[in-house]
Amino acid sequence: MTLEDTFWSLINNPRSFLSKNLIKPSGKRDTGEVTGYFSKAEGFNNKYRISEKPPTGTTCIAIKYFWVKMEDYLPGAKYYDDMLGVAIHNPPPGADFDAHAYVAVTGELSGCSIVYNDSKPSNPTFFHLHPQKGLSKVKDGDGVELERQLKARALGFQGRAKGARVYGREDYKVANAYFWIVYTSGKWRIFTQRVAKEVPPFQVSEKK
């Protein structure tokens, strides 16, 4: 299977692909659409990378993707009022993955939380928020307190930001996780992938 076929299998059947394969995404400092590369991780049958720069010494293909950088959580910030996450938009019919983004990604979650809003299917948004000192347990920094504060605020802000939801440490528990938004079958779909060990099968859930 070529890299092009592999990437399209992610787009065409994301749940099946993510349950069997691990992709480690990375991006630039700023949130936004990125011209990048999809490649296979050397020495692994089920591991791939999405990166802004071409990897050294391995085959890759050019792709576009939406990247959301990790932000420090600031109490009082208008995460729910404005939902100014990545500006995700639909690719045109018949577009190629090197010309238009079919995936929106962020870095691995290991104590962080995601605030997301998919009430407008053609323009979902999300933030990747990192727990500041005092918002996570001192012992292991697992981010539970951050998630609880975000969920409490989400409930309080529903009148002004209908549809805001939170995915955090209490959801993915002792594992780490990845958060994916994939454009497939004419719409954006949201998936979470829990990774306890870097060996499949991985636990994949679709957020509806």
Q: Mean pLDDT of all residues in the chain?
A: 83
Q: Any residues with CB less than 8 A from the CB of 80 and at least 6 apart, and which?
A: 115, 153, 154, 157, 160, 161, 164
pTM, to two decimals? 0.87
Domain hosting residue 93, numbered range: 3-207
- Cβ of 123: how many Cβ atoms within 10 Å? 15
Q: Any residues with CB less than 8 A from the CB of 66 and at least 6 apart, and which?
A: 32, 33, 34, 86, 87, 88, 101, 103, 104, 105, 181
Query: Among candidates 24, 73, 83, which has minimal Cα distance to 50?
Result: 24
Model confidence at 13, in pLDDT bands (50, 70, 90)? very high
Q: Which two tokens stand for residue 132?
A: 């500041």
Residue 88 confidence (pLDDT) above 50: yes
**Angle, CA 96 vertex, CA 93 and CA 102 arms, to 5°:** 80
| Number of structural domains in the chain | 1
Please report how many Cα atoms fall inside a 13 Å half-sphere around the Cα of residue 98, on the Cβ side: 7
Report CA Rg, the chain.
Answer: 17
What dihedral do alpha carbons 8, 126, 105, 151 form, nearest 10°?
-110
What pLDDT score was predicted for residue 75? 63
Residue 30 confidence (pLDDT) above 90: no
Beta bridge partners of 40: 48
Tokens 């936004």 — which residue? Answer: 32
Residue, of 166 and 86, whose pLDDT is higher: 166
Percent over 90 (pLDDT), the chain: 40
Asked whether the beta carbons of 27 and 69 are under 8 A apart, the reply is yes
Phi-psi region of 186 (alpha: psi -120 to 50; beta: other; left: phi over 0): left
Q: pLDDT digits over 116-157, tens only? A: 888 777 778 888 888 765 554 434 456 888 888 788 776 554
